[in-house]
Amino acid sequence: MAGIVQPSRRLSPLLDERRVVLCVGSGGVGKTTTTAALGLAAARRGKRVLCLTIDPARRLAQSLGLEWSANEAREVEPEMLAAVGVPPRGSLTVMRVDTKLTFDSLVKELAPDAERRDRILNNVLYRYISTSLAGTQEYMAMEKLHSLRDDPRWDLVLLDTPPTAHALDFLDAPERLVGAIDSPAIRWFVQAFQSSGKLSFNLLAKSTATLLKGLGKLTGGGFLEQVAAFIAEMNALFGGWKKRADAVAAALRGPDVAYVLVTTPDPLAIREVRYFAERLLGERMRVDAFVVNRKNPSFPNEPTHAAEVLEALGLVTSADMVQKCAEAQKDAARLAKLDRLHLLSLDGIVEETGAPLVSVPTFASDVYDLEALRQIGDILAP
């Protein structure tokens, strides 16, 4: 596995040559950390960098001096950046993508007139879909990325993907969301909705009509009408939306987009990344890099009897301490060995993709300041 890595280059070519970098992986593996570290590494190369995030890690944002409102770009103070080696022409901007605000602006852009725009924005169901429907968050992140990728203010745009249970949700989000609006079930529902604005129960199978009437009672007056009205409105926008979603989906597959697959040595996270890589290959897309974060460090050259060495140096004094040191060393070796065993299952796909794999060790404490990000950036893209 290590033989595939070109130690001097690692992820550096991605920062130098691509326009968009997406960090994907399952929940909690270190996507936000990796995005921020790569962003800083690119800024240190003199790039003007934009990091898009849906879910900013609060402590990280605080330590970068960022208190910001949604969908607004905030620049990290140049003095703070200069202290970690960013030259004056480099910059690091962070933008928190708000799903609802992004959806709102999409509706505003696509609606043919103000009246229809307001009818959608004020619909109860819209409020649900624009905030809570599965896939909306992923789609809106893509939407935002799409609208900013060619912005001349930035040389490189990084996307920190939201904590989806399945990294694959990302690739499918545009089609899935449009599919939900254009599904046979929805079309059928709209048909049952008369132009009078009332549901025509005559058009429905008896059992369905009964069910919907019951549902109508349960959900309160007008709810089903609101649902149908909303769907009809969305369908009116649908032509424009579908085209847009297709453009977003196509842009995701463009040659200037890099996919960095992040995992930990955890078998479930590894499995997720393997699926994602296989999917990318299946769609004839490239996998650009693997990052194994939070790897337990192994010290192959360390003497087996480190505790005795420490004792000889006078660094540990009591027999009890010697014993504890020896145990700690054994534990660390066991954990490192377990990581290596788990990571064996990545070998095949890493070889197949030809992408570099870089390991980042577990730091002694959480990573949230610029100095720690710089260190990780140096490992990822020296």
Ligand X SMILES: Nc1ncnc2c1ncn2[C@@H]1O[C@H](COP(=O)(O)OP(=O)(O)OP(=O)(O)O)[C@@H](O)[C@H]1O
Q: Which does 30 bind (CB under 5 to 8 A by kind): ligand X, Mg ion, none?
A: ligand X
In DSSP notation, 279-325 reads HHHHTT----EEEEEEEPP--TTS-TTHHHHHHHTTS--SHHHHHHH
Site string for ligand X, 15-34 (x = CB under 6 A): ------------xxxxxxx-
Q: Which range, of 67-75, 77-85, 302-310, 361-369, touches ligand X by CB under 6 A?
A: 361-369
Which residue ranges make up the site for Mg ion (CB under 5 A)? 31-32
Residue 380 CB, shortest distance to ligand X, in Å, is: 11
Give min distance, CB of 41 to ligand X, in A.
Answer: 15
Q: Where are the beta strands (DSSP E) in 10-47?
A: 20-24
Binding to ligand X, residues 289-318 (CB under 6 A):
293-294
Q: Which is nearer to Mg ion, 32 or 136 (CB)?
A: 32
How distant, in Å, are the alpha carbons of 85, 356, 358, 374 from that of 367? 18, 23, 17, 10
Nearest-CB residue for ligand X: 163
Q: Identify which range of 95-103, 151-159, 311-319, 362-370 contacts ligand X by CB under 6 A.
A: 362-370
Looking up tokens 């399945």 gives 166
Helices 124-132 and 223-252 sit at what angle, rounded to 10 degrees?
30
Nearer to ligand X, 111 or 367 (CB): 367
In terms of CB distance, is 63 or 226 closer to Mg ion?
63
Residue 198 CB neighbour total at 10 angstroms = 12
Neighbours of 58 (CB within 10 A): 9
Size of the site for ligand X (CB under 6 A): 18
Q: Which of 360, 370, 373, 381 binds ligand X (CB under 6 A)?
A: 360
Cα distances (angstroms) measured from residue 138 to each of 25, 97, 235, 248, 330: 13, 10, 21, 12, 43
- Which residue's CB is nearer to Mg ion, number 136 or number 164? 164
Residue 242 C-beta: closest distance to ligand X, Å? 30
Q: Does 163 bind ligand X (CB under 6 A)?
A: yes
Angstrom distance (rounded) from CA 82 to CA 89: 10
Task: Find the binder of ligand X among 1, 4, 16, 55 (CB under 6 A).
Answer: 55
Name the residue nearer to Mg ion (CB basis): 31 or 149.
Answer: 31
Q: Assign residue 85 a region: left if phi > 0, alpha if psi is -120 to 50, beta otherwise?
A: left
Residue 2 neighbours by CB distance under 10 Å: 8
Gap between the Cα atoms of 98 and 55, Å rounded: 9
* Segment contacting ligand X by CB under 6 A, of 104-112, 148-156, 320-328, 356-364: 356-364
Nearer to Mg ion, 28 or 214 (CB): 28
| Touching ligand X, residues 181-210 (CB under 6 A) | none
Token pair, residue 24, equals: 């994907």
Chain center to CA of 305? 43
Residue 188 or 363: which CB sits closer to ligand X?
A: 363
Contact 15, 381 (CB under 8 A): yes
Q: What is the DSSP letter of 77?
A: P
Binding to ligand X (CB under 6 A) within 60-99 occurs at: none
* Complex with ligand X: residue 106 or 381, whichever CB lies closer: 381
- Name the site residues for ligand X (rule: CB under 6 A): 27-33, 55, 57, 163, 293-294, 360, 362-363, 366-368
